[in-house]
């Protein structure tokens, strides 16, 4: 009988811990990428003349992120050097130290060469730790981040994004964004555009498409290489194992109570 009471007590403790952890984890945002991972994207379509018409001559200039020196039939590579899910960085706009999620990476800009050679830049990629810190009606650079923290849907839904954004993270995390004509700084874009960005199980940009009004694809980028093993699998596997153990424990207690 003592064993039965012990098991019942254990069930109550585990139930409390599950509820407590759920409330804590709900607002903890973490990256799915890790050090020494590499990612390669391929540009399948890029209408450079139309992009210039939409966003001006500097649309693919130095520092334009995903669009930097973008051309059709080229590839871009990232090598993750370091990650930090909670780093304080001085914000020159607010004049305060603020918390960010950070990736430090080496970047090979878009190239047609088969051999990569030396990297072009070492950059930082930063996202606010608290998505509510983004400006009102925020539009991401290039309209969609190249990487997002988990849980993706919770992170994006807590940001005050531009009205044209819609988020679908039920199975495959997807961002859609419709930008009306002249709705951005400098009266860009010069006509309506729509962006659809799809993310893999590590929160990395898997597919990026930019359309205009007649559904014509102006930019099409896809992730060329992905890793077979993902640490995000453990985020699903460990809770599943725990749940099986928890249900098994309840079954054992039930059987003991019936037998007694």
Residue 142, C-beta contacts closer than 8 angstroms, at least 6 positions apart:
64, 65, 66, 67
Q: What is the pLDDT of residue 171?
A: 84
Pair (124, 209) in one structural domain:
yes
Please tell me whether residues 226 and 236 are part of one structural domain. Answer: no
The one-character DSSP state at 135 is P
| pLDDT for position 228 | 43
27 and 38 together in one domain: no
pLDDT computed for residue 170 by the predictor: 81
Dihedral sign for Cα atoms in the order 85, 144, 64, 159? negative
What are the tens digits of pLDDT across the range 168-190?
988 899 999 999 999 999 999 99
Quick one: how far is CA 138 from the chain centroid? 16
What's phi and psi for 26, nearest 5 deg? -55, -30
- 99-147 confidence digits (pLDDT tens): 999 999 999 999 999 999 999 999 999 999 999 999 999 999 999 999 9
Residue 99 and residue 24 share a domain: no
Provide the domain limits for residue 240: 1-31+231-260
- So what's the pLDDT on residue 250? 74
19-65 per-position pLDDT tens digit: 544 443 445 899 999 999 999 999 999 999 999 999 999 999 999 99
For range 61-83, the mean pLDDT:
97
The average confidence (pLDDT) of the chain is 87
Sign for the pseudo-dihedral over CA of 107, 90, 85, 144 = negative
Q: How many domains does the chain have?
A: 2
pTM over 0.85, yes/no: no
Residue 123 shares a structural domain with residue 160:
yes
> 30 — alpha (psi -120 to 50), left (phi > 0) or beta?
beta
117 vs 225, more confident: 117
Q: Cα-flanking dihedrals φ and ψ of residue 247, to 5°?
A: -65, -35
CA pair distance 20, 200, nearest whole angstrom: 29
Same domain, 125 and 22: no
Q: Return d(Cα 239, Cα 103) in angstroms, integer.
A: 27
Residues 42 and 5 in one domain: no
Q: Is the dihedral of CA 55, 60, 64, 68 positive or negative?
A: positive
Residues 87 and 166 in one domain: yes
Residues 43 and 110 sit within 8 Å (Cβ to Cβ)? yes
């Amino acid at each position: 009988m003592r064993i039965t009471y012990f098991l019942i007590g254990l069930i109550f403790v585990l139930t409390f811990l599950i509820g407590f952890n759920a409330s804590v984890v709900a607002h903890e945002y973490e990256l799915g990428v890790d050090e020494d991972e590499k990612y390669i994207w391929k540009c399948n379509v890029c209408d450079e003349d139309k992009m210039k018409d939409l966003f001006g001559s500097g649309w693919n200039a130095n520092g334009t992120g995903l669009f930097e020196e973008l051309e059709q039939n080229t590839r871009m590579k990232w090598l993750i050097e370091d990650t930090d899910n909670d780093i304080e960085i001085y914000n020159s706009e607010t004049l305060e130290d603020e918390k960010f999620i950070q990736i430090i990476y080496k970047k090979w800009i878009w190239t047609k060469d088969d051999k990569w050679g030396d990297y072009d830049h070492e950059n930082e990629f930063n996202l606010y730790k608290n998505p509510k810190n983004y400006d009102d009606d925020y539009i991401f650079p290039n309209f969609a981040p190249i990487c997002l923290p988990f849980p993706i849907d919770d992170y994006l839904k807590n940001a005050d994004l531009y009205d044209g954004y819609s988020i679908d993270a039920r199975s495959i995390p997807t961002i859609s964004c419709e930008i009306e004509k002249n709705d951005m700084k400098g009266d860009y874009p010069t006509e309506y555009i729509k962006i659809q960005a799809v993310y893999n199980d590590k929160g990395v940009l898997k597919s990026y498409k930019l359309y205009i009004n007649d559904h014509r694809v102006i930019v099409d980028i896809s992730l060329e290489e992905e890793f077979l093993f993902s640490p995000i699998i453990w985020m699903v596997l460990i809770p599943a194992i725990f749940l099986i153990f928890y249900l098994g424990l309840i079954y054992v207690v039930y059987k003991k109570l019936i037998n007694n």
